[in-house]
Amino acid sequence: MDAGRSISAELSQRAAESTDGYPFLIQLVGYHLWRLHPVASDVSADDVDVGIMAAQRRLGSLVVEPSLADLSNVDRTFLLAMAQDDGPSRMTDIASRLNCDANYASQYRL
């Protein structure tokens, strides 16, 4: 690498997969990986683990928290109901969790 350090293909793949293709997170992971031990010639597995965690925390404070700050209480409750699902949420499930009918719940869809 031109930055004076190298990373194995396996560790590079692990770091890349942790970003889910999100461009800003790609930059954050790379930044944190390289800054952990700037004089070391190789990025270690521990560097990757710590860099991923640091980048995810920073993403939360820079992107997620400000995005949630302006939401109403109803919007937050709706998000909490959605967060219980591993994949896409069904409106009927959300309505059940909010103890309301699907028509009412759909008015608050984000």
Residue showing tokens 């560097």: 47
Q: Which of 38, 12, 40, 36 is nearest to 26 (CA)?
A: 12
Please, what is the average pLDDT of the chain? 89
pTM: 0.67
Q: What is the mean pLDDT of residues 19-35?
A: 92
Which residues have a Cβ under 8 Å from the Cβ of 82 and sit 6 or more positions away?
A: 89, 94
Q: What is the pLDDT of residues 47-94, one digit of tens each?
A: 999 999 999 999 988 988 888 888 888 888 899 999 999 989 888 999
pLDDT for the residue 110: 53
Task: Name the H helices within 1-110.
Answer: 9-17, 23-36, 45-59, 65-69, 73-82, 91-98, 102-106
Which tokens belong to 109? 């869809």
